Chains A and B, each alone.
Chain A
Amino acid sequence: MNNENTIKANQSAKPYVAETPWLDPEAVPFIQIKGLSKQFDDFSAVDNVDLNIYKGELFTILGGSGCGKSTLLRMLAGFETPNAGQIIIDGIDMANIPAYDRPINMMFQSYAVFPHMTVEQNISYGLKKDKLAKAEIATRVKDMLELVQLSELAKRKPNQLSGGQRQRVALARALIKQPKVLLLDEPLAALDKKLREQTQFELINLQYELGITFVVVTHDQEEAMTLSTRVAVMDAGKFIQIDTPTQVYESPHNRFVANFFGTINFFNATVLSTDPEAQTLTAQLEKTGTQLEAKAEGRFSASDEVTIAVRPEKISVSQERPEGDHLTITKGTVEDLAYYGNRSVYRVRSQSGRIIQVSAQNNQRSEQLVLEWDDEVYLSWDSSCNVVLSE
């Protein structure tokens, strides 16, 4: 898990998110999906899904393998017919519009670059089908080749290209048609790690420059965090949570989402009292009886069983008992530690016997480990870091 990278990348992507139309009740969504379902035989691949995507968004659908992401995308593109529901794009119902007439283009998971055509022929294919004038096709292909940096390779066949180059051919081929929406099915999955990180930023820049609405499907949560304006977390054909990357990371709705994005510590607890005005509650941890405060909307009441979730990087570890207001404090012994250079990860066994994972920045220069195995330590975190989950 590499949370530092995720967060850093996320910040540099921030300037591109100019607006937040999803917060505006007046805003008209560019893509409206209503009650969309798709069954294969008796199996529900996509199950009664509702979704609004706004113009210019870089929207990510995130979920494990087989949860129905590709099926959803293929329904948008027109390759699968929904069993129920509606897809409206830019005010037009897509029900009776075949794939070749939709204002959408797709970049396939396999890239699907035509093997018997050169790079240039691949990229010009869509414009030729639109019966554009030869001269216009030529200039647009030339511009597009420059944009994706493939000018030198224009005459090559796909089998003479690397994976990253093929990916750019597929992207260029879809973008040249200037679609209203570009669908990308696992656009980076076939690339190696280094190329993937670099390509992520290229994608973001491209999307920002062209202003096309991107819908990206991925199973890689880091990719989802880096790329998107908003993320829809999907499981078994349904959306679990649709929010901004920071919201899904910091305020997951349930254990599934919390677990999906990196590591997190869970504590079973019982609500002691609630304060509806301040939107806070007090809860008691199951075994140790430690009392803690947490922010929570009004949906909890006293004696509810809840889960308290805390991210490892929110927890401070120290050998003296920390002082301060609104701190949740617990004691334990270091059972395991891993030194990563920029940070260390500690696995601390608390007095209740559970393992708590802590990720600490090594913000002081020291050639000795600050903490050793079997050291007695205090763990503390600000009560605002407590996330209350209903299950």
Chain B
Amino acid sequence: MQKSSRFVFSALCFGFAFLYIPILVLIAFSFNQSAITSVWGGFSLRWYTALFNNEQIIEAALLSLKIAATSATFATILGTMAGLALTQIGRYRGRLIFTGLIAAPLVMPEVITGLSLLLMFVSLQELIGWPLSRGAGTITIAHITFSMAYVAVIVQSRLSSMDQSLQEAAMDLGGRPTQVAFDITLPLIAPSMLSGWLLAFTLSLDDLVIASFTSGAGASTLPMVIFSKIKLGVTPDINALATLIIGTVSIGIMIASWVMFRQSKRN
């Protein structure tokens, strides 16, 4: 008994060490005075100052945030509509196929999604002259396309676990269909829409592959800039940037799980 629990404990420690030591090292070195990554030269915020003076990175970060916020918002609207259509509109022929189709992008390799979107943009340009150039706009559209699927799946799972008669009850009490949507359906799926939005936002911030395919010469997102910089060698200001991203993502995850927790407690 003792022995096995000690084994489990050390396995646990090892697993977590494997996951988190690289991240902790990275965070520690972002506060390193020395410019050499492998030598600890004392505590300093020097790389954070350097980071905030690096216009290229700041610009890329702002662009990434803008794309993430826009694409997450549209993905949430479209994904919610898709989720509603899949669960609410009675039983229609081919509903199962649609459910499968909406989930397919979740498992599609990013390279393929990126490539197919690029091909679409190129042929659209030839056919109707739009989009004139590839950049922030095309990246946003691409991100909406794939993160919408995530939102749809989250909203759909919430809707199908919800008591269908809630909406009928509201209608029975005199609510018109639009009133029922705003009084009952939306408040009840709002938490899953919020977690869908946060997920879409994170996915967009994180994405390198699809953005690289669908971006043009002008626009570079943060992951694209980091990736190109790393090819020239790692500078410690990247550590500072990574630390900030980790901080942001952790806060996002904490909010999302708090929302989910409250929702599950309520049911």
Chain A residues packing against B (C-beta within 8 Å)? 77, 79, 99-101, 104-106, 108-110, 112, 114-116, 125-126, 129-130, 157, 159, 170, 173-174, 177
**A159 to B267 Cα, complex, angstroms:** 7
**A116 to B190 Cα, complex, angstroms:** 11
Q: By DSSP majority rule, is chain A's interface helix, strand, loop, or mixed?
A: mixed
**A173 to B163 Cα, complex, angstroms:** 17
Residue with the greatest number of chain B CB neighbours at <10 A, chosen from A101, A106, A129, A173:
A129
- Check: B55 CB closer than 8 A to any chain A CB: no
Closest residue on chain A to residue B177 by CB atoms: A100
Q: Could you say which residues of chain B place their CB within 8 Å of the CB of A177?
A: 173-174
Q: Which of B134-151 contact A (CB under 8 A)?
A: none
Q: Which one of B172, B188, B267 lies within 8 Å of A99 (CB-CB)? A: B172
**A170 to B170 Cα, complex, angstroms:** 11
Chain B residues packing against A (C-beta within 8 Å)? 163, 165-166, 168-176, 179, 183-184, 187-188, 266-267
**A115 to B187 Cα, complex, angstroms:** 10
Query: In the complex the two chains form, is A126's CB within 8 Å of B165's CB?
Result: no
**A109 to B168 Cα, complex, angstroms:** 12
Q: Which one of B168, B174, B267 lies within 8 Å of A126 (CB-CB)? A: B174
Closest residue on chain B to residue A115 by CB atoms: B266
**A237 to B74 Cα, complex, angstroms:** 47
Q: Could you say which residues of chain A place their CB within 8 Å of the CB of B163?
A: 110, 112
**A126 to B169 Cα, complex, angstroms:** 10
Q: Which one of B183, B188, B267 lies within 8 Å of A125 (CB-CB)? A: B183
Closest residue on chain A to residue B184 by CB atoms: A114
Q: Could you say which residues of chain B place their CB within 8 Å of the CB of A100?
A: 171-176
CB distance from B244 to the nearest CB of A (A): 36
**A242 to B267 Cα, complex, angstroms:** 40
Query: Given that A108-B165, A112-B163, A114-B184 are contacting pairs, would A125 and B170 also be in contact in the complex, using a CB cutoff of 8 Å?
Result: yes
Q: Could you say which residues of chain A place their CB within 8 Å of the CB of B169?
A: 106, 108, 112, 114, 170, 173
Query: In the complex the two chains form, is A129's CB within 8 Å of B179's CB?
Result: yes
Residue with the greatest number of chain B CB neighbours at <10 A, chosen from A101, A108, A112, A177:
A112
Query: In the complex the two chains form, is A116's CB within 8 Å of B172's CB?
Result: no
Query: In the complex the two chains form, is B170's CB within 8 Å of A105's CB?
Result: no
